Every structure is written in structure tokens, then in C-alpha cells.
Amino acid sequence: MVNLRAFSLIIFFVLYSLLIPTDSWAAVKFVSAKENYVFYCVSCHGPKGLGDGINATKTQPVTPRNHTDAIKMERISDEELLSVIKDGGRALGKSTMMPSFSSTLTEVEILALKDYLRELCKCVGK
């Protein structure tokens, strides 16, 4: 009986893999928080999260957040961090220079990115 179950599961996965186009695998490919940070955040927040990315020019009205600043980062709750990543700076009444990533990143990626920010600041939220 157990063998039959295992056999049917194997058949199911083989058929599933044959039916799903290869593109779909790429679409669900796991992208780590660090990869997303490097790709989307570093241009403003800098390679080490110090807020010194190439977009942080003198002409900008605001300075990007230093993600390693534990004192300032621990004042922000996890929920607030998630809101800012999803809906941009305006979610906390901050600058709209921080864009919304809700259409760019998945929920799982946003959660992972929040955890990565906590790693950078070595702090926990209020």
C-alpha cells in the first residue's frame, strides 16, 4: 500500500514536471534577499547598506537610510519595514524617493528582505 502511494507520488511529480513549461520554473526560482538587495537597493543604499549608493548624489532632497545604523533602525518596527518595502517611503510619511516594491517583489521576497535588513543593522525592531 505504502509502495503504491510512493509510486503514484513519483508519477504525479514526473507528469507535473513534464506539463509545466520550463519558463515557469524560472519564474518561481528562489532569489535570495541578498541578491534582491544588491540588485534593487544598493544603487541608493550602497553596497554595505551605509546609505551611500550612487544615487545618493548631493542634488537629492533626502539621504537614503543607513541600514547599518542600529539606533535608527531599531526605532522602526518589522511591520513598518515591510510597509516601506511594499508601499515605499510614503507608507511612513517619508520621502517618495524610496519606491514601492509591491509589484516587483513577492511577499516571500519582501519578508526575506526585511530579515536581511535586520541582519545589516544587527538589531531588532521596536
Partner 1 sequence: MKQNKLLIIFSFIFCLLLFGLSDALAKSSPAGKSIFKTKGCSSCHRRKGPSVDKEFSDLQKKKGPDLWFAGSKFKAGFLATWLANPVPIRPMKFYSLREESVRDHPKLEKEDAVSVAKFLMTLKSKKVKLGVVKAKKSASGRIIFEKKQGCYGCHKFKKGRNVIGGLSGPTLIGVGSRLNPDWIYAFLKNPKDFHPVGAMPIYKGILSEADMLTLSRYLATFK
Name which of 96, 111, 87 is nearest 44 in CA terms: 96
Q: What is the DSSP letter of 93?
A: T
Query: By C-beta, is 62 or 111 nearer to partner 1?
Result: 62
Query: Scanning residues 43 to 72, which ones bind partner 1 (CB under 8 A)?
Result: 43-44, 47, 53-57, 59-60
Question: Phi and psi dihedrals of 52, rounded to 5?
Answer: -120, 40
101 touches partner 1 by CB under 8 A: yes
Least gap, CB of 32 to partner 1 (angstroms): 11
User: Does residue 44 contact residue 56 with C-beta atoms inside 8 Å?
Assistant: yes
Least gap, CB of 96 to partner 1 (angstroms): 4
* Set of cell numbers at residue 59: 542634488
DSSP 49-61: SSS--TT--TTSS
96 touches partner 1 by CB under 8 A: yes
**Which class for 73: exposed (0-12), middle (13-18), buried (19 or more C-beta within 10 A)?**
buried
Least gap, CB of 86 to partner 1 (angstroms): 10
Query: Scanning residues 7 to 46, which ones bind partner 1 (CB under 8 A)?
Result: 23, 26, 29, 31, 35, 38-40, 42-44
82 touches partner 1 by CB under 8 A: no
Binding site for partner 1 (CB under 8 A): 23, 26, 29, 31, 35, 38-40, 42-44, 47, 53-57, 59-60, 89, 95-104
